[in-house]
Chain A
Amino acid sequence: MSAAAFKTYRPPVMEVSEEGDELLEVAMGPHHPSTHGVFRMDVALDGERVVKLKPVFGYLHRNHEKIAEKASYLAAMPYTDRLDYFCSLTNNWAYALAVEKLAGLEVPERAEYIRVITAELTRIQNHASAIGFLMQEMGASGTPLMYAFREREKILDLFEELTGSRMMCNYMRFGGCRVELPSGWLDKVKTVVAGLPKFIDEMENLLTGNEILMARSQGVGILKPDLAVNAGVTGVMLRSTGVNYDIRKVDHYGIYDRFKFRVPLGDHGDIYDRYMLRVLEMRESVEILKQALKDVPGGPIMDPKSKIRGFRPKPGEAYGRIEAPKGELGFYLISDGSGNPYRYRVRPPSLINLTILEDMCLGQNVADVVLIFGSVDIVLGEVDR
Chain B
Amino acid sequence: MFAIEASGVTKVYRRFSNRRQFATLKSALLRGTVFRDLHPAGTFAAVRDVSFKVPQGTTYGIIGRNGSGKSTMLKLVAGITKPTEGTVRVNGRISALIELGAGFHPEISGRENIFINGIMLGLSKREIARRFDEIVEFAELRDFIDAPVKTYSSGMYVRLGFAVAINVDPDVLLVDEVLAVGDEAFTHKCLDKFAEFRRRGKTILLVTHALNLVEKFCDDVLWLDGGGIRGEGDPRRVVSEYITDVAKAEEKDLAARDARERERVSQSVPTAGPAGDAAGAPPEPPADMFKAGEGRWGSREVEIVDVRILGADGAPRHVCQSGEPATIEMTVRARQPIEAVVFGVSMFNADGVCCYGTNTDIEDLEVAGFSGEQKVTFRIKSLDMVEGTYKLDVAAHRVDGYPYDYHRQLYSFRVMSNAKDIGIYRPPHTWEFSAGIGARGRTIEN
To the question of whether A and B form a pair in one complex, the answer is no
Residues of A within 8 A of B (CB): none
